[in-house]
Amino acid sequence: MSRSDRPSLDEQLARLALEVTPRTDLWPRIARRIGTRPARWIPLALAASLGGISIAAALTWMLWQERSELRPHERRTPDLTQSAAGRESAFDEPRDPRYQRTRAALEKTFAERVARLDPGARRAIAANLEQIRAARADLRRELAAHPENPVLQHLLESSWHDEFDLYDDVVTGTQPTLARN
């Protein structure tokens, strides 16, 4: 076909579809971000883990799995005097070595990626992380007084999801790849 027989640039541009469906359903994450889980919510972390989408999702899945396996009397007692550095041994986080290894790898990648960002972005991320951790500290205090309260337990678990989502957002948002197939 000669140059002059080909559709013009305008014709080719006009044929492009303006609508491109995301590869994954973004609604569960949106719903969680805006404060309510959607009616047909399936555990996002489980779904993402099955799809091999992210390390953060795998972490949340492990967390979720361990929490559902623990019977109430097996749950570790929170240490309210624990520092941020010692939070890994908190009752609400698994001691499973796979989990600890995966988390350490994610935190390492997160730290490397954050270091590349400009100071304003770093401050915003640090503020978000601090907010999540402060909320978790409050929840732990409340749980110490009401250890069987399911709402508090659920919120505490959600705080871990939020932290992993933040890591995931930074790591995926700074991927150095141009991924259009």
Any contact of residue 23 with other proteins (CB under 8 A)? yes
Q: How far is the CB of 159 from other proteins (least distance, A)?
A: 18
* Exposed/middle/buried for residue 29 (C-beta within 10 Å: 0-12, 13-18, 19+): middle
CA distances from 127 to 118, 120, 130, 156, 170 (A): 14, 11, 5, 19, 14
**Binding mask of the shown chain, residues 100 to 129, with x at each position contacting other proteins by CB under 8 A:** ----------------xxx-xx--x-----
Any contact of residue 69 with other proteins (CB under 8 A)? no
Nearer to other proteins, 81 or 177 (CB): 177
Q: How far is the CB of 58 from other proteins (least distance, A)?
A: 17
| Packing angle of the helix pair 119-145, 150-173 (nearest 10 deg) | 160
Nearer to other proteins, 96 or 169 (CB): 169
Q: Which of 39, 69, 66 is nearest to 160 (CA)?
A: 66
The residues binding other proteins (CB under 8 A) are 1, 3-10, 12-24, 26-27, 29-31, 33-34, 36, 38-39, 116-118, 120-121, 124, 169, 172-180
